[in-house]
Amino acid sequence: MDGKVKYLTPEEFRKMQLLQLDMVSELDRVCREHNIRYTICCGTLLGAVRHKGYIPWDDDADITMLREDYEEFKKYAHEMNQDICFFQDHTTDPEYLWAYGKLRRTGTKYVRVGQEHIKCKTGVSIDIFPLDDIPRNLPGQMVQDFDCFLLRKILYARVGIKNSKGVSKLVYAILCKIPVSYVFKRVDAYAKKSSNKSINRVRLLLFPSFGKLYVKNPIRKRYGMPKRWFLKRAEYDFEGRRFYGIKDYDEFLTWMYRDYMTLPPEDKREQHAPVSDYEF
């Protein structure tokens, strides 16, 4: 990998969480003003339920939106206080390589280890995950999952080619020949099939299926989540503020993590993404 891991002090780590908290608040404000649905999700929802705020060692915040709401949010993202944050995806930053959006904290730097050569804007961030419909039959879901895996690897190849050796490096070199525009066109084609009114299950397309990311759920459930999880919402206390989350939190968190109220062993309490350079 290009860079060496830098470790934040406990005070810096907490400051980063609070910078992210302001961004979630800005997103919440804009979404409330325009009646756009969102939910805190994954570790952020777990933090709200188990800690009434951040999981102490969690280095990010996760927001989910059904595809229609995500596209609506993009129309109003410019209304967020630009002194606090800005919206980033491949349409606002041509060098950005992922198929979901982020909010970046204005005036900060945060570079992940192994991504020093990527030219997109950096900074303390939170993830905004658009959820798209999946096929209703299991074979279709499995085919889509494999297709999404390949598309994800095409994007990641720009990172992987710098951080791998041997056959993997050769594979990534070949995948780098495929333009990223091809991937985003394929994602757009999937996205156009999504509707809040359909009964399909949903997933984050170019990301490992949530249903097998931490826990291997039964094969008929692992590739998508019930859409009702993201339509039926409740407000949760989070660091003294109120954000929308999945109302059926127990069903979701059990599906995602299984015994979610039990703390992991101390040696597993670590941040998701090592950082090589930061400034905030």
Q: For 27-79, how does the pLDDT look when each residue is reduced to its tens digit (9 = 90+)?
A: 999 999 999 999 999 999 999 999 999 999 999 999 999 999 999 999 999 99
Percent with pLDDT over 70 in the chain: 99
**218-253 confidence digits (pLDDT tens):** 999 999 999 999 999 999 999 999 999 999 999 999
Q: Which residues contact 200 (CB under 8 A, 6 or more apart)?
A: 133, 134, 135, 136, 194, 224, 227
Question: Is the confidence at residue 134, as pLDDT, over 80?
Answer: yes
Ramachandran category for residue 133: left, alpha or beta (phi over 0 → left; psi -120 to 50 → alpha): beta
Could you give phi then psi for residue 221, rounded to 5 degrees? -120, -15
Percent with pLDDT over 90 in the chain: 93
Q: Which of 209, 152, 217 is nearest to 178 (CA)?
A: 152
Q: Which of 60, 95, 63, 98 is nearest to 77 (CA)?
A: 63
Long-range contacts of 100-105 (CB under 8 A, 24+ apart): 100/127, 100/128, 100/129, 100/130, 100/204, 100/206, 100/207, 101/70, 101/74, 101/127, 101/128, 101/130, 102/126, 102/127, 102/128, 103/23, 103/26, 103/27, 103/128, 105/19, 105/20, 105/22, 105/23, 105/280
pLDDT at res. 2: 59
Is the pLDDT higher at 154 or at 3? 154
In the DSSP assignment, the letter for residue 131 is E
Is the pLDDT higher at 1 or at 71? 71
**Dihedral angle, C-alpha 30, 197, 187, 139, nearest 10 °:** 140
pTM: 0.94
pLDDT at res. 3: 75
Residue 245 CA to residue 229 CA, distance in Å, equals 9
**73-118 confidence digits (pLDDT tens):** 999 999 999 999 999 999 999 999 999 999 999 999 999 999 999 9
For residue 98, give the 3-state DSSP assignment. coil
The answer to whether the CB of 135 falls within 8 A of the CB of 144 is yes
- The one-letter amino acid code at 192 reads K
